[in-house]
Chains A and B, each alone.
Chain A
């Protein structure tokens, strides 16, 4: 009887303990609980397992005899041709041209989209003026303009950068405006009652509050940029990752094409990681749960 009593007593004192431990993410009882935070090491391990499973699948299927090796090489062949590309075929300069196109076009896109998005998200009248226009342009597929761009701008970098810009900038404006609009009204009103004028509130509240959202939006849109880059370089280019892949196609070098795809994937991932790093370093105030 007394044993039972003390048992319930300890169980009662245990309850608050586990309750405070749970949010820190150290332990959870079930493998598939909702909203779990899992330790970094375990997350890394699971990610590796996913990749290994994929590579294994690729290796095994490439060794089955349903397609000739030439058309469907395995991972080992692709990685060795990747090495060859970089060491012997000057692929590095192709990568530099592609990355340069991405960086320049995306830089211009941000320069255009940021002021417009900030103003549209802040002022309903600017939004009413521009949203119907830009919102419609967003749905015109940028590749449809390639014939025009080729006639107007030739086959050089201007044409490619313009295509990349067109593919991204309209979405970016609308999305940055949306981010700006999320600024809580009460923060703006607080700044007003502290004596803030329009210009001050625009920068110290709306822009500042939206900054993390801007970085995150740019991270997502950059992925779209890579899609248009490949299109631009496949259509007409002498250098760049896409151009290399088109050359390889002419000589049926499937392993080189696959190596190009892998390169793009890795580059995209690197940029993504870079943006996440910037986010974590620049916005420590968001706390752990939001980063």
Chain B
């Protein structure tokens, strides 16, 4: 395959030992995501989305296969792959500003600190008024914004997100999706996000990877590029477009087939 900047996953498999038995969670997954694009891992619960994302982050070791980011092999967590989790991960003892600055501080990046990187990203996620607040004073959506700003301020090559908006109410979820897209487009960040929400996947993704389960396999790769012809950040135009409805129905059928297999 062509070597290019971006994420490349080749022949990844993962099995778990559980109660003396070996369970194959992921089977021979190969996919690639060009730099600057947003990829979404979509699939039914238990198909191994989180496991795959954690292997890309280096938090989990593959049983087979290899992962590269910008042609460098990935084998342990590092600064080039920042991750936003579904659980709230703001450090409760740090203010919003210190949370966002955390990555730069521990990496000894005082120059970036001086250049106002922290304030830039706090503003980018709309938390300037809360810079001195502690996480316990913030709502769930705001805490996720802190996590996103903290990860982006570290300038990762790849932003990983595991259902970051899963715990939010629908309206906040929409706002966060728009916010994420605007920040990510401006910073040209490469993103790999996990979702099991079809609308979210199609709205966020330049590429959507649909995984099937038992074992987790890459079943289909979808390109919702119809969005290029729609006005930007226009949720209604997006939801009403024929292409969206067609893809939505198509994925629903894939999901239904998965349900049938499981039963």
Contact = CB atoms under 8 A, between A and B. Distances in A.
B85 A192 contact: no
Nearest to A290: B136
B106 A204 contact: yes
A208 interface: yes
Interface in B64-115: 77-79, 81-83, 85, 87, 89, 91-94, 102-103, 106-107
A205 B103 CA distance: 12
Interface residues on A, range: 20 to 34
A200 B106 contact: yes
A92 interface: no
Given A186-B85, A193-B57, A204-B106, A285 B93 contact: yes
B79 A187 contact: no
Contact of A195 (B85, B91, B103, B136): B103
Interface string A181-207: 000101101111111100010001100
A189 B59 contact: yes
Nearest to B160: A193
A221 B78 CA distance: 40
A194 B82 CA distance: 6
A194 to B, nearest CB: 4
Contacts of A192: 58-59, 77
A287 interface: yes
A193 B160 CA distance: 10
A286 interface: yes
A208 B85 contact: no
B81 A286 contact: no
Interface residues on B, range: 20 to 34
B134 interface: yes
A287 B82 CA distance: 29
Contacts of A184: 87
Q: For A191, A193, A205, A287, which residue has the most chain B Cβ atoms within 10 angstroms?
A: A193
A90 interface: no
A253 interface: no
Interface in A190-235: 190-196, 200, 204-205, 208-209, 211
Given A189-B59, A189-B77, A194 B150 contact: yes
Contacts of A211: 93
A286 B79 contact: no
B92 A286 contact: yes
A284 interface: yes
Interface in A23-52: none
B54 to A, nearest CB: 8
Contacts of B77: 189, 192-193, 195
B154 interface: yes
Nearest to A194: B103
B203 to A, nearest CB: 25
B259 to A, nearest CB: 29
A284 B95 CA distance: 11
Given A192-B59, A285-B134, A286-B136, 10 more contacts: A186-B89, A190-B147, A192-B58, A193-B57, A193-B77, A196-B106, A205-B91, A208-B93, A209-B92, A209-B93
9 closest pairs, A vs B, by CB? Answer: A195-B79, A194-B103, A192-B77, A193-B83, A285-B134, A287-B136, A190-B89, A200-B106, A186-B87
Interface of A: 184, 186-187, 189-196, 200, 204-205, 208-209, 211, 283-287
14 contacts: A184-B87, A186-B85, A193-B57, A193-B81, A193-B82, A194-B103, A194-B154, A195-B79, A195-B103, A208-B93, A284-B134, A285-B92, A286-B136, A287-B137
Interface of B: 57-59, 77-79, 81-83, 85, 87, 89, 91-94, 102-103, 106-107, 134-137, 147, 150-151, 154, 160
